[in-house]
Amino acid sequence: MERPKNPTATTTTAQATTTTQATTTTQATTSGTLTITRPDDMHVHLRDDDALLAVAPHTARQFARAIVMPNLKPPITTAEQALAYRSRIVRALGPSSATFEPLMTLYLTDRTEPAEIKRAKATGRIYGAKLYPAGATTHSDAGVTSIARIGGVLETMAEEGLPLLIHGEATDPDVDVFDREAVFIERTLAPLIEERPNLKVVLEHITTAQAVDFVLAAPPNVAATITAHHLLYDRNALFRGGLRPHYYCLPVLKRHRHRQALLRAIATGSSKFFLGTDSAPHPQSQKEASCGCAGCYTAHAAIELYAEAFEAVSALDKLDAFASAHGANFYGLSRNQGTLTLRREAHTVPNSFPLGPSNQGSLIPLRAGETLGWRVDTTLTGHPSHARYRSA
C-alpha cells in the first residue's frame, strides 16, 4: 500500500485553473486548503432499502450529482423502474436531496427494446445505459450475452445521444482475471467503437495501461472513469500480510505499472478521464466470507482519496477539472455552481459504518481505522446546478 508518508510535509502549490466551461475558479492555496467546483461522481452504487439510507448521505455530502448504477436485484431495466428508484433515493436523502441530484441509468439485457431507450431519454432523468457483460461482476447475471444482440438498442442510443456505460471485462472463463480488461478492449470494445462512431461510450473504472492508451487514442466520443482505489493501490494491497477482502473489487486491482499508467493519465489533465468512484458497499459479512463480494466502499472519503492520489503525482491543479468539468462536459451537463473545500488535516477513518437492520451489520470502508491527510470542510456552499442536457 502506498500513500504519502507525511501528508503535512508537502506544500500545496497547485495553481488556479480555468476551463471554458468554468463558472467557479479553482484555487489551491498555500495555507493548506484546496477549493474546487462542487464535483460529480460519474459512477456510484447506492443500493436500495436500508443500505441506500446508510450510504446515500455520504455521496450527497460531497457530490452535487452522481451517475447511479442500475445493478439492483432485480436490475433497473425500464425507465419506469429508474424513476421509481430515483424517488427512493430522494426520499432516503430527505432534506439533503435539495443539494444532490441522482442521474439515473438503465441496465441493458439481451431483451432491452429500442423503445425503452426512447422512453428513458424522454424522461429527462436518465443519462446512460449500462452494459454489463453477463457474469462480469456483482448482480450482472442478467447482463448482455453478446453485443450483437443489442444492435438496435445501440443504434437508438446513438440517435438519442444516450451514453453507453461499459463494464469492460471479458467474461470467457479461459481469460485470466488480470487480463480481462485488455482482452475486452481488443475483442469487443475496439470493434464496437469502429462500428458505431456516433455512440458516446464511457469505459468505466479503467485499470490498465492498455485502457489508458486505448481511450487516449480513441475519438472524442470515448471517455473513461477512474476510481480512487485504482489510483492508490495495486494488487499487492490484496495480499499485504494476509488476504484483504476489502481491497477486492472488479475489475481487480492490477500490477504496479498499470497503476502508474492511471496516475500518468490523470496528470495529463486529458478531458477523456473523469471521476467515477465505483463506490460499492457490501455488508461486512458478505465481504469477509468464503466467497466474498467484489467492491470497495469509498464514498465516505471519496474526494479526500482522490486528492491524495493527485497530490502523489503533483497534479492537485488537475483535480478540479477531473472531478467537476470533464464528466459534466462529456454528458452534456452544465457545470455545478458552488464549491467544495478540502483542508489539510490528518484524521482517522471510522472502523465501520452501520448498514441498517435488514443488512444486519456493518460496512467496512476503504482505509478503515487508518489516516487520511485531507478532510472536506463540512460547510458546503452553493447548490448543484439543475442537471440538463445542452442541446445535443
* Catalytically annotated residues: 278
Q: Which residues lie closer than 8 Å to 4 by C-beta, 6 or more apart?
A: 10, 308, 311, 312, 373
Query: In terms of C-beta density within 10 A (0-12 exposed, 13-18 middle, 19 or more buried), how is residue 304 classed?
Result: buried
In the range 223-282, which residues lie near Zn ion by CB under 5 A? 278
What are the residues facing 130 on neighbouring strands?
Answer: 107, 165
Q: How far is the CB of 4 from Zn ion (least distance, A)?
A: 27
* Sign of the torsion angle spanned by Cα atoms 241, 243, 249, 252: positive
What are the φ and ψ backbone dihedral angles of 36, each rounded to 5 degrees?
A: -125, 165
169 near Zn ion, rule: CB under 5 A: no
Q: How far is the CB of 338 from Zn ion (least distance, A)?
A: 26
Report CA-CA distances (Å) from 343 to 47, 101, 265: 30, 25, 25
Cis before residue 251, ω within 30 degrees of 0? yes
Find the helix or strand (DSSP H, E) in which 115 lies.
helix 114-123
Q: How far is the CB of 69 from Zn ion (least distance, A)?
A: 5
Report CA-CA distances (Å) from 57 to 69, 82, 93, 328: 16, 19, 6, 21
Binding residue count for Zn ion, defined by CB under 5 A:
1
Q: How far is the CB of 182 from Zn ion (least distance, A)?
A: 19
Task: For Zn ion, give the closer residue by CB, 116 or 278.
Answer: 278
Q: How far is the CB of 18 from Zn ion (least distance, A)?
A: 31
Task: For Zn ion, give the closer residue by CB, 278 or 308.
Answer: 278
Cis before residue 74, ω within 30 degrees of 0? yes
| Block residue for cell numbers 446546478 | 385
- Can you tell me the distance from the alpha carbon of 331 to that of 42, in angstroms, rounded to the nearest whole number? 9
Q: How far is the CB of 280 from Zn ion (least distance, A)?
A: 6
**Nearest residue to Zn ion on Cβ basis:** 278
Task: For Zn ion, give the closer residue by CB, 139 or 235.
Answer: 139
Task: For Zn ion, give the closer residue by CB, 276 or 283.
Answer: 276
Biggest distance spanned by C-alpha atoms of the chain:
57
Task: For Zn ion, give the closer residue by CB, 253 or 316.
Answer: 253
Task: For Zn ion, give the closer residue by CB, 105 or 156.
Answer: 105
Report CA-CA distances (Å) from 71 to 68, 138, 349: 9, 8, 27
Binding site for Zn ion (CB under 5 A): 278
